Amino acid sequence: MPRSRLRPCRRFPPAREPQPIDRSAANMSTLTTERLRLRPLEPRDVDPLVIHQSSPEVMRYVPGGIRARAAVQALVERSQADWRARGHGLYAVEHQETGEVIGYCGTRALEGGAAIELDMILAEEHWTQGLGTEAAAAVLASAKRAGIRQALAVPHDANVAAHRVCEKNELASRGSESHYGIECAVYAYEG
Ligand SMILES: CC(C)(COP(=O)(O)OP(=O)(O)OC[C@H]1O[C@@H](n2cnc3c(N)ncnc32)[C@H](O)[C@@H]1OP(=O)(O)O)[C@@H](O)C(=O)NCCC(=O)NCCS
């Protein structure tokens, strides 16, 4: 066919430039559960976490109680350092329906030592809907993928909700020990 009679094909748009794949640590570390999205904590999470952690009811069994902004900032910075150093740390927990940050869940150094602790705090209005159990399950699976062989949970003896989250995730009960200056139950996750 002579070149002049060739018409441009209209049905197919020109091929787009290939989009770069986002292989950043944050993107690769995002977890999605039935109702939640979890991603590594970032400085923008400080504001909502300060609100949750200024509630005496929420912080009732958390060592040190209510956390001021500086303490929350330090928590986020330590978590970011943990993500860089050992490929795991604390996640912001977002509700998928609203995108709201409803708390955090993840791993960190138990009392700053070598042992790894499973830690979580959710805003009170989201309690008792199974979200804590759901977040912990996703975090423990991701810890295993990150090569974490053991994570301990050390809830205050009277913290029934935290005990139940451990039991429902089938963590092994290891008696009780003193941590952060209080008597705690010890549960272990073996990855
Ligand atoms: C611990 C915490 C994350 C649990 O979150 P959650 O979303 O309420 O947990 P779930 O809905 O998955 O509930 C797990 C179990 O605890 C029970 N539970 C939740 N809140 C409870 C409460 N205040 N009192 C008694 N039981 C409670 C639930 O009924 C459920 O048990 P069940 O399935 O036998 O009924 C949440 O209570 C929290 O943020 N607490 C404050 C911070 C804290 O103490 N963190 C733990 C540090 S180790």
Q: Whose CA is nearest to atom 23 of ligand 1?
A: 161
CA of 117 relative to ligand 1 center, distance in Å = 17
List the strands of the sheet with 150-153, edge to edge: 31-32, 36-40, 90-95, 101-109, 116-122, 150-153, 182-190, 172-179
User: Who's near 47: CB < 8 A, 6+ residues apart?
Assistant: none
In this predicted structure, what is the pLDDT of residue 62?
A: 96
Q: What atom in ligand 1 is closest to the CA of residue 153? A: 48
In this predicted structure, what is the pLDDT of residue 23?
A: 43
Using CA atoms of 80, 137, 32, 97 in order, give the dihedral in degrees to the nearest 10: -100
User: Where in the chain does DSSP place strands (E)?
Assistant: 31-32, 36-40, 90-95, 101-109, 116-122, 150-153, 172-179, 182-190
Check if 130 has its Cβ closer than 6 Å to any atom of ligand 1. Answer: yes
Best residue among 128, 154, 189 to mutate for probing ligand 1's pocket (most ligand atoms within 8 Å of CB) is: 128
Per-residue pLDDT of the chain (191 residues), as tens digits, is 455 455 554 554 445 554 444 445 555 699 999 999 999 999 999 999 999 999 999 999 999 999 999 999 999 999 999 999 999 999 999 999 999 999 999 999 999 899 999 999 999 999 999 999 999 999 999 999 999 999 999 999 999 999 999 999 999 999 999 999 999 999 999 98
pTM exceeding 0.85? yes
Best residue among 164, 170, 183, 187 to mutate for probing ligand 1's pocket (most ligand atoms within 8 Å of CB) is: 164
Q: What atom in ligand 1 is closest to the CA of residue 155? A: 48
Instruction: Write the CATH number of the domain with boundaries 25-147.
Output: 3.40.630.30
